[in-house]
């Protein structure tokens, strides 16, 4: 038998989480740089109950190398951003820019 969904449960607390335009620009900018360098090849964007996830892949049919998740939290707050690789949490941050800082190349002395 079918499942009953109450409309009263679809209020502001149950809103889907998604990436805004600025966050998506940051993600796609990083993605395009990594594609140009040959490191990444494909991406996917998913919505999973209370979070939006941007996954990057080296090969189209492989498991994701990294997942960048935006997780919702309480009323009026932006939640948190988490960078994951497999089951490991690499970085937690309150802003997308801070979360993506893990992908910035280390500076090296050039002689």
Please answer whether residues 23 and 96 qualify as being in contact, where contact means their C-beta atoms are separated by less than 8 angstroms.
yes
Nearest to 72 by CA among 24, 14, 30, 11: 14
Give the separation between CA 51 and CA 96, rounded to whole angstroms.
14
Q: Which long-range contacts (CB under 8 A, 24 or more apart) does 32-39 make?
A: 34/103
DSSP H or E run through 6: none
Q: For residue 95, give the 3-state DSSP assignment.
A: coil
List, for residues 78-91, the tens digit of each pLDDT value. Answer: 689 999 999 999 99
List, for residues 10-49, the tens digit of each pLDDT value. Answer: 555 567 889 999 999 999 999 999 999 999 999 999 998 8
The model carries a pTM of: 0.79
């Amino acid at each position: 038998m079918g499942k009953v969904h109450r409309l009263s449960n679809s209020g502001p607390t149950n809103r889907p989480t998604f990436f805004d335009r600025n966050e998506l620009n940051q993600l796609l900018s990083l993605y395009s740089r990594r594609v140009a360098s040959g490191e990444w090849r494909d991406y996917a964007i998913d919505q999973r109950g209370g979070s939006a996830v941007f996954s990057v892949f080296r090969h189209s049919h492989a498991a994701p190398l990294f997942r960048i998740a935006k997780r919702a939290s309480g009323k009026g707050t932006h939640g948190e951003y988490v960078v994951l690789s497999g089951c490991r949490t690499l970085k937690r941050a309150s802003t997308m820019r801070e979360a993506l800082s893990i992908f910035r190349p280390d500076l090296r002395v050039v002689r």
